[in-house]
Amino acid sequence: MRIGFTFDLRDDYLRQGYTAEEAAELDAPETIDAVETVLTSLGHVVERIGGIRSLTTRLAGGARWDLVFNYAEGLFGFGREAQVPALLDAFQIPYTFSDALVFALTLHKALTKHVVRDLGIPTPDFAVVSEESDLDHVRVPYPLFVKPVAAGSSMGISAASLVAAAPALRTTCLALLERFHQPALVEAFLPGRELTVGLVGTGTRARVLGVMEVLSTSEAEHHAYSFANKQRYVGRVHFRIADDSAAAEAADMALRVWTALGCRDGGRVDCRCDGGGRPHFLEVNPLPGLHPIHSDLVILAGLVAVPYAGLVASIVASACERLVPDGDPTFRAGVRG
């Protein structure tokens, strides 16, 4: 196939004056190179597009592709991850990963938790602080954990995220509001194990790759998989595959979340266990990192003997299931899954 490749390159934004943290979710050159290498090895012709503005220009000029490998995060607004899929839907060009509805919902952690909670899936009690006056209405018992409501890559998560009293809650929330210009999510803190579940596939064909436990060393910031721990994980974090009863429960919960929300092709569901060892839903990542060495889903895949090329190939194969059987590269009408 002729595959277009959408992405947001971190270096491009750094050159425009954005900070390393602001661009933390965006793509490293080695990620783009690695994905393109796999796609080419599968026999496809790859055409690099770039982000939403470049895609808009190319589409307006008449460019089309059999499939787009959509890896564009965007940078502005709660709908930033949904922008490229929405545009591709308008032009009826198929693409990898989830659609605009899924991305718009799941980027906002609190809205996702409302939906997941309505499914009967356990998730920590929570509140949203959009402005200082909201702090007076937080009724979740301490200790609490605070993070930006719509930031990825553990941005805004640090040792200060765990708060034990109202003064610390106020300080942490106000700092996040000023720094990230978005609401803060305040959750009941769960003291148990940190688990992430890798998934590939769509709908009834979705399956769990494995459940990975994130373990902190003595050099790490404790109580959370923080931004510092994630960016400099060597020596701070140890990963292992979990295969006990808690892992099985997390895997079942993650698959329920994945299929109920309509997530597609590949991604992760993050969980944390309470004091009794029961996993609770934290968030879902339907556009997972694919750095060939550092990304969690790639690390997990490696631990269960799935090579990088096999992981990317599985994502593309899942997306291709949405193509019309006669080979016409268009979406099946009316089918989201």
Say what the pLDDT of residue 14 is: 87
- Whole-prediction pTM value? 0.90
Given a cut of 80, whether residue 334 has pLDDT beyond it is no
Boundary-marking domain end, from 188, 213, 239: 188
Per-residue pLDDT tens digits for 183-214: 999 999 999 999 999 999 999 999 999 999 99
Between 217 and 243, whose confidence is greater? 243
Query: Residue 314 pLDDT > 70, yes or no?
Result: yes
The pLDDT assigned to 91 comes to 97
- Please report, for residues 19, 74, 221, 298, 304, the alpha-carbon distance to residue 25 in angstroms, rounded to integers and kept in the order given: 12, 9, 20, 16, 25
**Residue 61 is assigned to a structural domain of this protein:** yes
Q: Number of structural domains, the chain?
A: 3
Least confident of 19-23, 26-30, 297-301: 19-23
Residue 332 is assigned to a structural domain of this protein: no
Q: What is the pLDDT of residues 242-286, one digit of tens each?
A: 999 999 999 999 999 999 999 999 999 999 999 999 999 999 999
pLDDT confidence band for 224 (50 / 70 / 90): low
198 and 280 share a domain? yes
Q: Are residues 220 and 158 in the same domain?
A: no
Q: Residue 327: what pLDDT?
A: 47
What's the start-to-end Cα distance of the chain, in Å?
21
Q: Are residues 177 and 206 in the same domain?
A: no
Comparing CA positions, the residue from 292, 311, 320, 157 lying closest to residue 228 is: 157
Residue 108 lies in a domain: no
Same domain, 200 and 307: yes
Residue 126 has pLDDT above 60, yes or no: yes
Strands of 67-71's sheet in order across: 45-50, 2-7, 67-71
Q: What is the pLDDT of residue 76?
A: 86
Q: How many CA atoms lie within 13 A of 249 on its CB side?
A: 15
Q: Are 161 and 218 part of one and the same domain?
A: no
**CATH assignment of the domain containing 234:** 3.30.470.20
Q: What is the mean pLDDT of residues 314-322?
A: 97
CATH code at position 29: 3.40.50.20
Residue 322 confidence (pLDDT): 95
170 and 220 co-located in one domain: no
CATH number, domain of 180, equals 3.30.1490.20
Give the structural domain span for 90: 2-98
